[in-house]
Amino acid sequence: MNNEPSGPVRHHDSGKWLVRFADCILVVCPRCGGRALVVPRPGLPERKHYGELLFLPRRLSCSGCGATDAWEPGMQGKGLVGAVMGGTEDPFFRRPLWLQTRCCGKVLWAYNEAHLDELAAYTGARLRERGLARPTLAMFARLPAWMKRSENRDKVLAGLERLRDLSERSSPADRSDAAHERDDRPRTHHSLYFRGGAY
């Protein structure tokens, strides 16, 4: 019996920003090399929109060795300077992402399981529909060309499955050989946050 869908699998790009997946980022622990978490500092007021995730104070914690660290946004005048998203390091502590693997001669990465789900839905789709969001902000519009090529679909999906398996592991011995510092952070820009919102 054929269980394949009869029509094309569609993906509609609603214009989600990468920052939507920055609520919890899996990183390599600076002390033991296992999996650590980067999350907003506990006890903060409820955020009004996802853009605030660029500016919220952060905490890094490792359940394996107990390592912790704290991050605060910088200041420029009266505004908070936000983190810059993208690349194989987390945007706050600059630790290598835990979810990295080699794929198509490149490095495939994700922040967390929800990010993996979105990337898998996009990659597996035979028909991709673009929303009305500005491409400078939308996550899928900014994916590298090699991830979008149809001839790489199966390889990228396999890479995402490797990352999904890795997301359930946490010991230093489970660390991917791709998860190391590359200094490939994106171009710096000055996102500022005032009482009225992010600019």
**pLDDT, tens only, 139-198:** 888 899 999 999 999 999 999 999 999 999 999 999 999 998 776 665 554 454 444 444
Map out the domains of the chain as residue ranges.
13-181+192-196
Residue 134 has pLDDT above 80, yes or no: no
Cα–Cα distance for residue pair 143/108, rounded to 1 Å: 11
pTM of structure: 0.84
Give the residue-averaged pLDDT of 107-113: 98
Q: Note whether 190 and 199 are within 8 A (CB).
A: no
Q: Which long-range contacts (CB under 8 A, 24 or more apart) does 87-91 make?
A: 87/182, 87/184, 87/185, 87/186, 88/179, 88/182, 88/184, 89/181, 89/182, 89/183, 89/184, 89/185, 90/25, 90/27, 90/38, 91/22, 91/54, 91/185
Angle between helix 113-124 and helix 153-167 axes, rounded to 10 deg = 160
pLDDT-based confidence at residue 51 (cuts at 50, 70, 90): confident
User: Taking a C-beta distance cutoff of 8 angstroms, is the pair 129, 13 a contact?
Assistant: yes
